[in-house]
Structure 1
Amino acid sequence: MVKKLVLALAASGILFTATACNTVKGAGRDIESVGQAGDEAIN
């Protein structure tokens, strides 16, 4: 029973870590695209 609990917690941790990483990457891409759009509007 304890092994199953530890395995479930480990799997959840990996899932949350992967999700957070993808979220940060997506936010970085969004910020970059806003910067590029601003540069194009100025030029």
Structure 2
Amino acid sequence: MTRRSSILVTLLAGAMMLSACANTVRGVGRDVGNTVDATGAAVNDVAR
């Protein structure tokens, strides 16, 4: 491969990795939000 092709492949691989990380972070955010909601609901059930 030429140097230019190597750089292009590296950049494309990096972009794909970063997009996968964005999806993972978004999923973790949803999970944390759901955990907070569930904990709040459990506290309200115990307080009644």
Aligned residues with identical type, % of pairs:
28
Q: Distance in 2 between matches of 1:40 and 1:3?
A: 56
Aligned residues: 43
Q: Distance in 2 between matches of 1:14 and 1:40?
A: 40
What is the deviation of 1:11?
0.3
The residue number in structure 2 matching 1:42 is 43
TM-score by structure 1 length?
0.89
CA RMSD of aligned residues (A): 0.7
TM-score by structure 2 length?
0.81
